[in-house]
Amino acid sequence: MANATDHLWMHFTRMASYSAGEVPTIVRGEGAYVWDAQGRRYLDGLAGLFVVNAGHGRTELAEAAAKQAGELAYFPLWSYAHPTAVELAERISTLTPGDLNRVFFTTGGSEAVEAAWKLARAYFKRVGKPTKHKVVSRFIAYHGTSMGALSITGLPGIKTDFEPLVPGGIKVPNTNFYRAPEHGDDPVAFGRWAAEEIGRAIEREGPDTVAAVFLEPVQNSGGCFPPPPGYFERVREICDAYDVLLVSDEVICSWGRLGEYFGATRYGYQPDIITTAKGITSGYAPLGAMIASDRLMEPFLTETGMFAHGVTFGGHPVSCAVALANLEVFAREDLVGHVRANEAAFRATLEKLNDLPIVGDVRGDGYFYGIELVKDKNTRETFDEAESERLLRGFLSSALFSAGLYCRADDRGDPVVQLAPPLIAGQQQFDEIEQILRTVLTEAWSRL
């Protein structure tokens, strides 16, 4: 559509890239595939943006939205409730680990992360520890774009235009075992080291100043870093020792992406807060949530207590109705079980690409994988900034799309291709992903 460049300001997009050409326009989706305005079909290898977990074209989700809009299109959760928010909050509480029973709705992931930081600060003020306000997070990790969430984010390239940010963001090493600076031959020792770095950061800052640690179960940016064995167990111990809240940022990793409803369940740790969004509605309506433990609600249950935070469309009736219908699809078709049953096949299919000279590492869990690209497999030499620009933006992104695969070629960290197909995907889609990647990555190597 030619007028897209005249009026539509796209997110995280180099608008000048389309000055001489049309913006790719997706008009329809069905199952694991989408179609553009010219009728070309693409395998949705990223579930939109780690979102469309139940797949495209679910008429029952659209019908749930229409039915709710006809009954009650909108009412705020500011001192009032509506049935779909109440029902959804109760449903979520039956799926969360431990006593995470308090659901604060938002419209997306950044808002959920923002709410979690605000709750951590407000909670410690109310329990007599008002100086605890800082947050520990990992290098290269993405936690959102609002000013608080951006301060927790560990990606310098998307922060510089907006500095100074909210003070109090502290960064520690991530769990990229492929490029481990310590214990690169021992994942257990590496996990222990990475966890202890969090403890050392808390000590440096002063435990009386640190409120929370924000971690994704599998870190997205940088290319899907799973936790090493014992990592979260040790992080939990450290948080308990210093009275620091553990926030599991599951905006991507929840709702079946890792083969469980929540990533914390997959890896066996108990957070104090979970932040979630994206797959909660499979993208059919915007919704997010901060899910807190009963303990964190207690200081706000006094007669005059209030968590002085809210957003207009948080817990929108239509979005909550869609989420409930989405969870019915999950239960009826056992999408979480489908991921568990097929994740080994997905991994095995992607690992076939290890025979390519440009593929350095294939890593991830569930239906969430990163493929790191290298100049030299033996030395693990990566690409410099100019080479990465030519490889990812100059060739791979458009070549993969032209070949019929929508995924992410990302250079936030070392160059990677990221994959997170809808949870309905099976071996047919795995093979299609591998074949397209093999063809395009082989050509990319020939261009180096």
**pLDDT score of 121 more than 60:** yes
The pLDDT-based confidence of 221 (bands split at 50, 70, 90) is very high
Assess whether 247 and 382 both reside in one domain.
Answer: no
Assess whether 89 and 219 both reside in one domain.
Answer: yes
Q: How many domains does the chain have?
A: 2
Assess whether 241 and 272 both reside in one domain.
Answer: yes
Query: Rounded to a whole number, what is the largest CA-CA distance in the chain?
Result: 69
**pLDDT score of 447 more than 80:** yes
Nearest CA-CA partner of 172 in 194, 151, 152, 157:
194
> Among the three residues 288, 306, 332, which one is the final residue of a domain in this structure?
332
- Residue 389 within a domain: yes
Residues 6+ apart with CB under 8 A from 245: 120, 123, 211, 212, 213, 239, 272, 273, 296
- Residue 28 within a domain: no
The string of pLDDT tens digits covering residues 78-120 is 999 999 999 999 999 999 999 999 999 999 999 999 999 999 9
Residues β-bridged to residue 416: 372, 410
Assess whether 68 and 78 both reside in one domain.
Answer: yes
**pLDDT score of 413 more than 80:** no
Assess whether 128 and 101 both reside in one domain.
Answer: yes
The pLDDT-based confidence of 315 (bands split at 50, 70, 90) is very high
- Residue 31 within a domain: no
- What is the share, in percent, of the chain residues with pLDDT greater than 90? 89
Nearest CA-CA partner of 146 in 121, 111, 115:
111
**pLDDT score of 182 more than 90:** yes
> Among the three residues 308, 332, 356, which one is the final residue of a domain in this structure?
332
User: In the structure encoding, which two tokens stand for residue 92, read together?
Assistant: 């979520």
The string of pLDDT tens digits covering residues 245-279 is 999 999 999 999 999 999 999 999 999 999 999 99
Assess whether 161 and 114 both reside in one domain.
Answer: yes
- Residue 13 within a domain: no
- Residue 253 within a domain: yes
Structure confidence at residue 208 (pLDDT): 98
**pLDDT score of 404 more than 80:** yes
- Residue 297 within a domain: yes
CA atoms of 370 and 390, how far apart (whole Å): 19
CA atoms of 113 and 143, how far apart (whole Å): 7
The pLDDT-based confidence of 402 (bands split at 50, 70, 90) is very high
Structure confidence at residue 213 (pLDDT): 98
- Residue 383 within a domain: yes
Question: Which CATH number characterizes residue 391's domain?
Answer: 3.90.1150.10
C-alpha count within 13 angstroms, C-beta hemisphere, residue 339: 26
> Among the three residues 317, 332, 347, which one is the final residue of a domain in this structure?
332
Average pLDDT value over all residues in the chain = 96
Assess whether 359 and 306 both reside in one domain.
Answer: no
Assess whether 108 and 254 both reside in one domain.
Answer: yes
- Residue 36 within a domain: no
Backbone conformation region of residue 264, classed left if phi is above 0, alpha if psi is from -120 to 50, else beta: alpha
Q: What's the whole-model pTM score?
A: 0.96
Q: Are 174 and 219 in contact (CB under 8 A)?
A: yes
Range of the structural domain that residue 401 is part of = 334-446
**pLDDT score of 448 more than 90:** no
What's the mean pLDDT in 36-62?
Answer: 98
Assess whether 99 and 143 both reside in one domain.
Answer: yes
Assess whether 339 and 322 both reside in one domain.
Answer: no
Question: Which CATH number characterizes residue 310's domain?
Answer: 3.40.640.10
Q: 233 exposed, middle or buried (CB, 10 Å; 0-12, 13-18, 19+)?
A: middle
The string of pLDDT tens digits covering residues 140-151 is 999 999 999 999
Assess whether 364 and 378 both reside in one domain.
Answer: yes
Q: CB 420: neighbour CB atoms within 10 A?
A: 30
Assess whether 170 and 289 both reside in one domain.
Answer: yes
**pLDDT score of 169 more than 70:** yes
- Please report where in the chains the tokens 């070392």 appear, as a residue: 414
User: In the structure encoding, which two tokens stand for residue 178, read together?
Assistant: 């492929």
